[in-house]
Amino acid sequence: MSTRKRSGHIGVLTSGGDTPGLNAAIRGIGKTASCMGSMQVIGFKDGFRGLMENRSVRLDNQMLSGILTLGGTILGTSRDKPHKMPMGGKSVDMTDVIVENYHKNHLDVLVCLGGGGTIKNAYRLSQSGLNILTLPKTIDNDIVGTDVTFGFDTALGIAVDAIDRLHSTASSHHRIIIVEIMGHRVGWLALGAGLAGGADAILLPEIPYTIDKLAESILERVSRGKRFSIVAVAEGAINREGANKIRAVEKKLEEAEGEKRIELKKQIKELDNEYRGSTIKMAEELEKITGLETRVTILGHLQRGGTPSAADRLLATRLGTSAIDYIRNEQFGNMIAVHGEQTMAVPLQDVAGKINYVPYDHPWIITARNLETSFGD
């Protein structure tokens, strides 16, 4: 352990979507700080909004007792952004108020537990002069610079369990069962769950599909006497037509300036809304082409809930306890990442605004293709 100056007042908040393991991370920070004697930890309620409104609670041993196995977050969360805080029907920049409250509470550091959006907001606050650390949480596993995010393992297990259960009903009927799995704009959850659950097709945002190719793979299974097919679909999956249209606009965006950039970004958003998250429409098209009864199950926020897995408890606890070492060494402006069995500090500027997409040559994809799993491409 370092013998450098110990930062005495630590603020903690959870921001963005709730994720299994948040309470384990909070507990890891609080209990380790308590062992240091001179360190005090306060938690701000409901994310950055709670910090803006100066609503906090002392994270002492009594508050931290019994929370390791709890899902969600004892601090509450929100998606409010410091620079775009909803106030009286308007979006207001409340960064100055947050900075003021940081100093009013005599904080030496603010630890933000969150995903991509939280990291961007935390980076902005670090640019405003605050000492910031972040811990990578999200069920999507879409944060760069870390092997894995806490929350992913629990959500993966829930999705696999759902596919396992759907196998039972699918095998009783000549049906196509489509399971929509969360993951935002990346396919880690759908890929992992589809592979572990034995899905016959997996549709990912990273691999644009065509409905004809998907239908072809399912009809080929029927010709071999298979009674059913399971299709795991990432919520951000997109067909080739939509992907090509978005790429064309993105190419124009690279060279555009001023008002033209705003217009093109709006076009991309509209195309996103039109072509992504259209699982129901895709199911209807698939049924029409194959003539097979098709049913859709959308797991949604079910994947965020419940008791965190052992792996997520271990990871979140490791990251939470490690945070105290980084605080004692005053290594601020970083995300604490996990690399193998070690943790390391990754500068927020290297993480903010970046997305960890599934590589085309990832071992999970190669394994699935070796099993003749269709990606609709």
Residues belonging to the active site: 140
Which tokens sit at 333?
Answer: 């402006």
Which tokens sit at 373?
Answer: 């799993």
- Calculate the dihedral angle through the C-alpha atoms of 330, 332, 335, 339, rounding to the nearest 10 degrees: -30
CA distances from 78 to 46, 129, 198, 353 (A): 5, 23, 35, 19
Give the phi and the psi of residue 69 in degrees, each rounded to 5.
Answer: -90, -5
d(CA 207, CA 100): 46
Helical pair 259-275 and 240-255, crossing angle rounded to 10 deg: 170
SS3 breakdown of the chain: % helix, strand, coil, rounded to 5?
45, 20, 35
Q: Are 229 and 221 in contact (CB under 8 A)?
A: yes
d(CA 137, CA 148): 9
- Calculate the dihedral angle through the C-alpha atoms of 200, 205, 206, 207, rounding to the nearest 10 degrees: 50
